[in-house]
Every structure is written in structure tokens, then in C-alpha cells.
Amino acid sequence: MTPSLRLTRLLLQDFRNHARAELRLSAGIVVIGGENGSGKTNLLEAISLLGPGRGLRGARLSEIGRRVAEGALPWTAAGRFEGPEGVFDLGTGTAHDGSPEKRVFRLDGNPVTSQAELGRLVAAVWLTPQMDRLFTEAASGRRRFLDRLVWALDPHHAREVAAYQSAMTERNRLLADGRPEPRWLNGLEDAMARHGVALTAARRALIARLNGVLAEGVAGAFPAALCALECDTAAALESQPALVVEDALRAELAARRGRDASAGLALAGPHRCDLRLTHLPKGVPAELCSTGEQKALLISTVLAHAALIAAARGFAPLLLLDEIAAHLDATRREALFAALATLPAQAFLTGTEPGVFAPLRGVAEGFAVGADGVQPDRDFPPPVAG
């Protein structure tokens, strides 16, 4: 069985609405209950920030510190983990004497300078209620979801996306100014072509691997999704070498300068890529499925992605499932609980109605979030070992 990554202690200081919170954890499934606004999701966000990236909310660092009359306080989130490489302590936050937008990390008390080092030790995947709108919102939301899936397996992907976006933004600015220097545009379009093809290749590779895992039925009773890219650059890479596709994209950008200047943005390129999911057993596009079916497709996709991470990194990631029972009927909830009970991944589930998690009693441990902070839930004591 794939080794798991376990969080055994979580400590927060001035994080969102939590002045101080400490959770000592021992189970593979953790249930966190409480009313809306009590701070359940804040706990998941803190866990997500112990790895690379901006966490499950993508929030600005200055928004995370607990608010007092003088403004936002410096904040800290720290965790003790057990993984394939043993026990280690990892903390992050903003310094008392530093910028509120500068985040620092410490591993066993020592500074961490590389996101790659974090990625080697910690991985997490998540589902939030905001993602329930993934199939009905604009393509940008699906593109962010896709790139996060890619980044979890390819740490260089974030740099490619950032470099492409930076070149495109500067090109848009020059075109808006009127009569830009062609030599500058040539350089920016060259950067867009190189980074655009590289990031598209990474997206294609992720989709191929994800579809392979989904076809194996790793999601149990959840319907498999078939993932596809709606992207001219991705389509070109199916039949042409990357260098040829780069040349074509470079030429297309140069030919579209006039139209892009009038539109105020680049009308073609990988930044317009869209992720499409299909309910594989029914052959129905996700956007035409019911809300419950859409949630089920997201769950199957995230579980498959977790399996990919486990195979690539040698340990199963943490699963952060916020308000996961919403839009799931009793049958699908039972299927989810059964899948989580057999996975090597440690899973964190939040909800406002603890009763829906009753089938997990004896398997999961629970915490209640309320006016008194975070307390162990007597209805979900840690399961007895053995």
C-alpha cells in the first residue's frame, strides 16, 4: 500500500478568526463540524498553506491575519507531520517585524527557501463549495483548476504560466499604447510562444495520465469523468512537433496585432484554453449533468488526481474536503465514506450537520468549532487502534 502523509498536530496563532487553536490528530479521517462562519474552512485553509502555493482560497497574505482594531495581526500556522521520511515540523506565516505580504517557512526550525522542498514533503488536494460552480462559471475558473492539478505533479508549471502571463500582459500594454516598437513585440511574442507551448504540453500530459487513472475505476462508486482540453495549441501538439507549434503560435500572434490592439487583449493562445469533463458512463457533458452528478464527477477527478500524486511522489496526499456532503444524496455519501476508509490518504471533512457523518463513527475522529474555539467532538472520539 502507498505510504500516507499524516498531520498529527495543527497549531494556529492569529489565523483568520482563530486567536489560537490546537488540534492533536490520530485518525485517517477527521470530521470538523460547526455552524457557518465558525471557522471550519479556516482550519482547512491553514493546512493547505503548509504546502506550496497560496492555499485553497488563494488569498492575499495580508487578509489572513486575525483582525483587531489596529488592523491585521501577523499569523502563524504550524503542523507536525509523519511521512515516508519520518517526523518533521513545518510552519509558515508572516513575521512580526516584516511585510504582511511576505510569507516565511520553517522546517524543523530552519528557514525554507524553496517551494520545491515543500513539495517534496507535503502535498494536499481539495474540494470547496466554490468549486461546485466549476462547470457553469467562466473558463478561467476551470483553467485555474486545471493548472493547479498540473502544478501538483510538475513544479515547473507555475513558472511557465507566470512567464506566459507576464509576456502577454506587457504585449497588451504595448499594443494599447499605439505604434509599439516591433522588436519589443517580437521578443514578447517569442516568449508567449515558448512558454505557451510548454505549459500546454504539461496540461496535455496531465490530462492523459488523469484519464488513464479514471479509466481504472479508482473512484469506486463515483462515475468516471473523461477530461479533455478545448485549446487550439493542444490540438496542434497532437500532430506536430513542439517547435513547429511554437513557430505557428508566434506567427499567429504577429498577424493578430491589429485585432488584439482593438480588443485590448490577446484573442488567441493557451490563455483561452478550457477544460471539459464528460460523465463517461452516460456520455453527457458535465455542464448538462445534475448538480449532484457534477459534484460526483469532481470527487472522482480529485480522487484520481490524489492517486497520481501518490504514484509520482511515493506518498498519498492530504485530502481537504470542505462541505463535502452538500449536493450528495445518502447513497453517494456512503460511497464517499467507503472510498475514504480504504484510501491511504488522510482526509479532512467539514460540515454544518454532523449527523451526515454518523456512518464514520468508530472510523473518524471529530472536532467541533464554535464560540469556545476548536474542541474534540465527543460524538467522534479517536478510533481505537487495532
Residues 6+ apart with CB under 8 A from 55: 45, 48, 49
Phi and psi at residue 82, to the nearest 5°: -120, 125
pTM, entire model? 0.89
Report pLDDT for 1: 53
Kindly state the average pLDDT of the residues 61-87: 91
Phi and psi at residue 322, to the nearest 5°: -90, 125
Question: What's the sign of the alpha-carbon dihedral 302, 25, 76, 156?
Answer: negative
Kindly state the average pLDDT of the residues 304-313: 89
Domain boundaries, the chain: 1-123+315-386
CA triple 93-95-100, angle to 5 deg: 80
How far apart (Å, rounded) are the C-alpha atoms in residues 143 and 316?
A: 24
Angle between helix axes 242-255 and 182-215 (nearest 10 degrees) is 130
Phi and psi at residue 212, to the nearest 5°: -65, -45
Adjacent-strand bridge partners of 32: 350, 367
What superfamily in CATH does domain 1-123+315-386 come from? Answer: P-loop containing nucleotide triphosphate hydrolases (3.40.50.300)
Higher pLDDT, 89 or 339: 89
Angle between helix axes 157-177 and 182-215 (nearest 10 degrees) is 140
Q: Quick count: other Cβ atoms within 10 Å of Cβ 229?
A: 22
Share of the chain above pLDDT 90, in %: 71
Report pLDDT for 2: 61
How far apart (Å, rounded) are the C-alpha atoms in residues 164 and 195?
A: 5
Kindly state the average pLDDT of the residues 242-267: 96
Higher pLDDT, 153 or 114: 153
Report pLDDT for 3: 63
- Radius of gyration, CA atoms only, the chain: 22
How many CA atoms are closer than 13 Å to the CA of 190, on its beta-carbon side? 6
Report pLDDT for 385: 65
